[in-house]
């Protein structure tokens, strides 16, 4: 008879380790090139790749992408030495450079909210470094060796891309040992060895969910060595030791029965994630769920895993809120077989000091192909308001007609969900005094 209590613990362990395993796989996919390759959205470790345009329906590396900003993305390994981050002057443009540790917590963030038009240079150091900070550098500390930087620059569309591309080029990473004070004095290597066996075609989330128990937890154990859990995790790690899960531990000595328990946990994990999301999404206001406390999860392992699966790279609430709708105002699942309207009364659009958008996601949490190549619509989209100042957004599969296309967010033919994204939200959004209006089915 299977030990159901141990299988339950293995599922909990799968949820606990999900961000760390996802980080390992995503890093492998996005760094599997010898030199920076912007077209493929990849770069070697400790180098930026610059996404010169907003993502389209071909982008699968990260779930729930956005179409509001251009990205500069870099996966870091701080095991050997820190890195220097240099930034340009952004003028009046909204920008932010969050650094996620391997557990998906935002361990540092610089941007317009806290720094104005520019900041830096910064020294990004991992847990093994204890040197002196050179003059002129500001220290940003990470508790893990593996980190992900996802710099974001607001853009108003293709005509604005060249200006943002210049800002991307001035966003750089330089090893501390090569830092001279002059960012132009360093050029990243273009002949980096690529790890054998990296699957660069299968989406990372699919790779993670395909791992059996032995492979999943062996990878987790390896990642735990240089990416230590927080002190508050100690009681849970004590329980996981019964499964052979610990930093650097080998699974080779486990019995077939013990491996079977790990396999059961890995099989159950993806379903458990969906169930956790369903419970989280059940707390709705007018059909919307606002996931608060993102980017700083503490011991809420369930929330951390759910956001890794459905919104990897989420920011702190103070930088961005993401109201999410999977159903209409009457609780019916959103589907492209129907038409919907999101109506804002005059003066009641999302309150932000940055900007806002409504983003469309298909059933895989990716962009859906559509004839306009439009994946989001918002305050920089040139939408038309009504005579009374109100705003209607038409959410549907087929065009609402030429006179309404400026306000059309195309939906896929089948199941979909939408995010409102509020960058640098005002206090009324942070406290819940402002909430989004209902998404109403119209046909």
Token pair listed for 252: 């080779």
Residues 391 and 388: their CA atoms lie apart, in Å, by: 9
Q: Which of 97, 91, 92 is nearest to 111 (CA)?
A: 97
User: Sign of dihedral through CA atoms 7, 10, 11, 12?
Assistant: positive
Q: What is the pLDDT of residue 1?
A: 42
What is the architecture, at CATH level 2, of domain 4-19+200-281? Orthogonal Bundle (1.10)
For residue 3, pLDDT beyond 80: no
Q: Is 314 exposed, middle or buried (0-12, 13-18, 19+ CB in 10 A)?
A: buried
For the chain, give the mean pLDDT.
94
pLDDT (mean) for 421-438: 95
Nearest one of 319, 424, 311, 421 to 109, comparing CA atoms? 319
- Alpha-carbon separation of residue 430 from 106, 111, 197 (angstroms): 18, 18, 44
Average pLDDT over residues 152-168: 93
The DSSP code for 348 is: -
Name the pTM for this structure: 0.88
Domain 301-441: give its CATH architecture: Sandwich (2.60)
Q: What would the pLDDT profile of 69-99 be if each residue is shown by its tens digit?
A: 999 999 999 999 999 999 999 999 999 999 9
CA dist 141 and 134 (Å) reads 14
Give the residue, 284 or 417, on which the prediction is more confident.
417
* pLDDT, tens digit, 9 for 90 and up, residues 118-156: 999 999 999 999 999 999 999 999 999 999 999 999 998
Percent of the chain predicted with pLDDT > 90: 84
Task: Give residue-wise pLDDT tens across range 300-333.
Answer: 999 999 999 988 999 999 999 999 999 998 999 9
pLDDT in tens, 32-71: 999 999 998 999 999 999 999 987 778 777 677 788 899 9
**Cα–Cα distance, 405 to 194 (Å, whole number):** 45
Q: Is the dihedral of CA 375, 378, 384, 387 positive or negative?
A: positive
pLDDT for the residue 2: 56
Domain made up of 33-185: CATH architecture:
Sandwich (2.60)
Please give the average per-residue pLDDT across 182-190, as a whole number: 94
- Which whole number is the average pLDDT over 259-286? 89
CA atoms of 168 and 88, how far apart (whole Å):
8
Q: Residue 394 belongs to what H/E stretch?
A: strand 391-396
Cα–Cα distances (Å) from 309 to 64, 274, 437, in that order, read 9, 9, 26
Structural domain spans, the chain: 4-19+200-281, 33-185, 301-441
For CA atoms 400, 405, 409, 414, the dihedral sign is: positive
Q: Are strands 340-344 and 352-362 parallel, antiparallel or unpaired?
A: unpaired
Model confidence pLDDT, tens digit, residues 227-262: 999 999 999 999 999 999 999 999 999 999 999 999
């Amino acid at each position: 008879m299977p030990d159901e209590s141990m299988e339950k613990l293995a599922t909990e362990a799968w949820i606990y380790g999900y961000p760390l395993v996802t980080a390992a796989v995503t890093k492998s996919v996005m760094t599997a090139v010898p030199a920076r390759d912007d077209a493929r959205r990849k770069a070697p470790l400790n180098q930026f790749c610059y996404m010169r345009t907003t993502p389209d329906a071909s982008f699968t590396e990260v779930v729930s992408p956005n179409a509001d900003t251009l990205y500069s993305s870099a996966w870091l390994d701080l095991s050997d030495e820190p890195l220097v981050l240099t930034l340009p002057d952004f003028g009046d443009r909204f920008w932010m450079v969050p650094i996620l540790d391997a557990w998906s917590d935002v361990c540092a963030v610089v941007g317009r909210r806290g720094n104005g038009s520019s900041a830096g240079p910064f020294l990004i150091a991992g847990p093994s470094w204890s040197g002196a900070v050179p003059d002129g550098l500001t220290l940003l500390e990470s508790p893990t060796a593996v980190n992900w930087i996802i710099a974001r620059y607001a853009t108003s569309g293709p005509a604005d891309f060249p200006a943002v591309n210049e800002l991307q080029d001035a966003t750089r990473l330089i090893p501390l040992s090569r830092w001279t004070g002059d960012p132009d004095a360093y050029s990243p290597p273009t002949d980096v060895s690529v790890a054998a066996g990296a699957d660069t075609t299968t989406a990372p989330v699919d790779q993670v969910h395909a791992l059996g128990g032995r492979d999943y937890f062996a990878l987790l154990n390896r990642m735990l060595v240089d990416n230590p859990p927080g002190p508050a995790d100690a009681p849970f790690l004590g329980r996981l030791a019964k499964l052979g899960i610990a930093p650097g531990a080998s699974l080779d000595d486990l019995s077939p029965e013990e491996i079977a328990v790990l396999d059961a946990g890995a099989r159950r994990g993806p379903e458990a994630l969906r169930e956790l999301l369903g419970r989280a999404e059940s707390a709705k206001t007018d059909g919307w769920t606002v996931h608060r406390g993102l980017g700083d999860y503490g011991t809420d392992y369930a929330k951390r895993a759910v956001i890794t699966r459905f919104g990897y790279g989420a920011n702190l609430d103070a930088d961005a809120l993401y109201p999410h709708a999977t159903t209409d105002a009457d609780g019916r699942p959103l589907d492209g077989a129907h038409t919907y309207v999101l109506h804002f009364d005059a003066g009641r659009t999302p309150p932000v000091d940055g900007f806002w958008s409504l983003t469309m996601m298909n059933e895989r949490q990716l962009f859906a192909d559509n004839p306009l190549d439009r994946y989001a619509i918002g305050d920089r989209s040139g939408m038309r308001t009504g005579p009374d100042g109100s705003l209607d957004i038409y959410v549907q599969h087929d065009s609402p007609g030429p006179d309404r296309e400026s306000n059309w967010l195309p939906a896929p033919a089948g199941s979909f969900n939408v995010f409102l994204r509020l960058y640098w939200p005002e206090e009324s959004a942070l406290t819940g005094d402002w909430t989004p209006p209902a998404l109403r089915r119209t046909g």
